[in-house]
Each structure stands twice: as structure tokens, then as C-alpha cells.
Amino acid sequence: MSSGVSKPPIVIMAHGFAAERTFRLPAFAERFTERGIAVFLFDYRNFGSSDGEPRNLVNPWRHLQDWEAAIAHVRALPQVSSDKIALWGSSFSGGHVIMAAARDPQITAIIAQVPFVDGISTAFKTGLRHAVQGSIASLRDVIRIITFRAPYYIPVVGAPDTFAVMNTPESMPGYLALVPENSSWKNECPARALLTLLFYRPIALAKRVKCPALLVMAEKDSLTSPKAVERTASKMSKATLFRLPVGHFDVYVGETFERVVKMEADFLEKYLKQSNI
């Protein structure tokens, strides 16, 4: 929560693919609270401090249910301004906030940072070999579900010469740099997650987002298509697209983080703390 502010506006935050709330998100949250904006930061079911089995199960539709539950919870909090709620998502959750705002016209604003917006364009970007390997792994996991066995796990991130959900050159060093040293997180997720990615397309609902939206695009992103992010922004009536000549994970650290977090804090302050906008 923010300090020294009576009934502050609030931003709800959650992380991307197979990630936990402790993975650099507190650094963003701290900057937002310094502006007098409260923060509600949560883990999806099956992740981090949340309950649920199997662990690290990625399912965008369940994630969206968790977002809806978080929004409902925040609206019931007497300590905050329930009519001033923003959503912040990054990577996979960047798509979730687009979907959530498209479904909920009462959301005040959203920030979608290096967002996953189109499973089809992402599949083209990762290539045929990755698609074939992913299909085989997913089938193995589905067979285990049918036969009541433990999930078939695959790495979340890996080196380019190995199979993982994310195995581009920037993926493994970029992702693991976000994991705290004392974390118990495991670099694995049930392979069935790959079945849902292709059919998850927040871009299809982008035109329904009527609130102000800030989309942060990494021009050297190896995981999501910059062109798809541009198309998504063009479908929104009140979208601002911010382009950066960086990779997918650069927004979380260093000078790029400083630049991005200031811009995002300015955006939140403008639309959450000023009236008549």
C-alpha cells in the first residue's frame, strides 16, 4: 500500500509466463507507491505463495479468472479508491490486462509491458522445430492427465540448443536474472501450457479496451512480435505505444528499467490521480 495517502488509487500487478510476483515486480511497485498509488501484487494459483497443484501450471484462462478475482477483491477494500483501478501486466500478463480491461469497462487504465498479444505470431517467431517439439511434449503431458499420472514437465527457459518454452538467446540469462537468490522456484512447467498459447490472442479483443492504455514495446524482442504489439495498440482508442530499441527482458533492469518505470509511474499518476480525464 502507499503511505500517507487517504484512500489512494490502486494498481493491480501480476507477472508473466511461469513467473512469481517476487521476480523484480516489487521494484516497479515501490516506484508506484512513492507516487501515492497503492499496489496489489499477487501470484496466480499454483505459483509462489498461492496454493494449487500441479505447481507452475500455466493456463491463461485460469490466470484471467485470478485477475477477475483480484479486481473484485480490490474493489471491496475500504482503504482505497475503488473507482480508480489500473492493471499492470508484463509479457504474458501484458496480454492478460488487455483481456481483463476488454471485459471490464470500469477499469481506469492499463499498462501492458512487452506484452504477449498473439499466440499465432509468437509461434511463427519461435519457428517450426519449436512447434513440433512443443506438440510432442504437450501430447505426453495430456496422456499423463488421461492416465492419472503426474504432469510431464518441461523447462520454462533454456539455452538455444535445448528445448524449453523460451529458448531464444536472451531468454535464459534474461529470465533467470529476475529470480531472487533465495527463491524456491523451479525452472519447469507442465507441458500442456504450450497447447493454450497458440489459441490465446488478446489482440482479438483489443478494440474493446476503452480506457487509456500504455503499451511498452521492445523492438528487439525475440519472444513476441513487435508488429503484433503495434497492431494491438492501433486497435485501442486511447492507446500510447512506447518503442524501445531493446530486448524482451531489458525492461526489468538497469537504465532501461529506470526509463520505463518513470514513464509508467507518470502514466499512472496522470490517469489515476487526476480527475476529469
pLDDT value for 198: 85
**pLDDT of the chain, 277 residues: tens digit per residue:** 555 578 999 999 999 999 999 999 999 999 999 999 999 999 999 999 999 999 999 999 999 999 999 999 999 999 999 999 999 999 999 999 999 999 999 999 999 999 999 999 998 888 888 889 999 999 999 999 999 999 999 999 999 999 999 999 999 999 999 999 999 999 999 999 999 998 999 999 999 999 999 999 999 999 999 999 999 999 999 999 999 999 999 999 999 999 999 999 999 999 998 754 4
pLDDT value for 3: 52
Note the residue count of the chain: 277
3-class SS of residue 82: coil
d(C-alpha 186, C-alpha 175), whole Å: 12
* Residue 105: cis peptide before it, omega within 30 degrees of 0: no
pLDDT value for 275: 53
pLDDT value for 4: 59
pTM score of the predicted model: 0.95
Whether 95 and 89 have beta carbons less than 8 Å apart is answered as yes
Whether 205 and 98 have beta carbons less than 8 Å apart is answered as yes
d(C-alpha 189, C-alpha 135), whole Å: 15
pLDDT value for 277: 42
Is residue 114 classed exposed, middle or buried when 0-12, 13-18 and 19+ CB atoms within 10 A define those classes? buried
Topology annotation, domain 10-119+202-273 = Rossmann fold (3.40.50)
3-state secondary structure 250-268: HHHCHHHHHHHHHHHHHHH
Q: Which amino acid is at 148?
A: F
pLDDT value for 276: 40
**Structure-block grid coordinates of residue 89:** 501486466
Q: Where are the domains of the chain?
A: 10-119+202-273
